[in-house]
Amino acid sequence: MPADPLHRAGKPQRSTTSQPPSGSRASAIEVRRSSRRRRTVSAYREGDRTVVLIPARMSEAEEQRWVTVMLDKLAAQESKRTLGDTELAERARRLSDQYFGGRARPASVRWVTNQNTRWGSCTPSEGSIRLSHRLQGMPEYVVDYVLVHELAHLLVPGHGPRFWELLEAYPRTERARGYLEGVVAAERLPHVPGARGERPTG
């Protein structure tokens, strides 16, 4: 995201720097508060850090929430290049090695465009994994979560306790699930007439 030119002028802003959540590409996060900002929040990369610009009146809880949201947005923008099926299969192999000791070995992993109600699917008898094209452009940890989920189905077909125990090996399961639940919730919101860049729903 381009820098907001307003944050460089006027009154000095209070800023805080912290370490990013596990898995973030930047080495640090700097939050800059500005009295000029009323509602908008923006973020951009500056060297090895991520700068998040927020209104000065925002609470600490709101700050933490918006930092997470903006990190996800930046990550999604930076991973816009679509992985091909070959790269997707290689990624699945690495994840299987990392979290399941290489025991989950799919025969095929590919993107499909006919899955609009599911993020992924697995046919254990065929060893095939299919991911919805809707995942393309989402943060890497979200795509990895869906891959790990489907890889786990090669080892445990159903959604019983043993399946969820397997999935606990992936450290960002809860965050990824929260992200996907947020996407689903957003798609159910009514369309706001006149809002730019929004597609009608329903």
- pLDDT, tens digit, 9 for 90 and up, residues 124-139: 999 999 999 989 878 8
Q: Residue 161 pLDDT more than 50?
A: yes
Phi, psi of 110 (to 5 degrees): -155, 160
Q: How confident is the model at residue 36 (pLDDT cuts 50, 70, 90)?
A: confident
Distance CA 112, CA 25 (A): 28
Query: Looking at residue 26, what is its pLDDT?
Result: 43
Domain hosting 40: range is: 28-80
Say yes or no: 175 and 106 in one domain.
yes
In a domain, 196, yes or no: no
Those residues with Cβ within 8 angstroms of residue 8's Cβ, 6 or more apart along the chain or in another chain: none
Q: How confident is the model at residue 80 (pLDDT cuts 50, 70, 90)?
A: low
Distance CA 17, CA 29 (A): 5
Helix ranges restricted to H, 79-128: 85-100
Q: Residue 54 pLDDT more than 60?
A: yes
In a domain, 35, yes or no: yes
Of 43, 63, 80, which residue constitutes the final position of a domain?
80
Q: Are 112 and 129 in contact (CB under 8 A)?
A: no
Q: Are 33 and 58 in contact (CB under 8 A)?
A: yes
Average pLDDT, the chain: 78
Amino acid present at 66 = W
Please tell me the pTM assigned to this model: 0.57
Say yes or no: 74 and 158 in one domain.
no
Say yes or no: 125 and 67 in one domain.
no
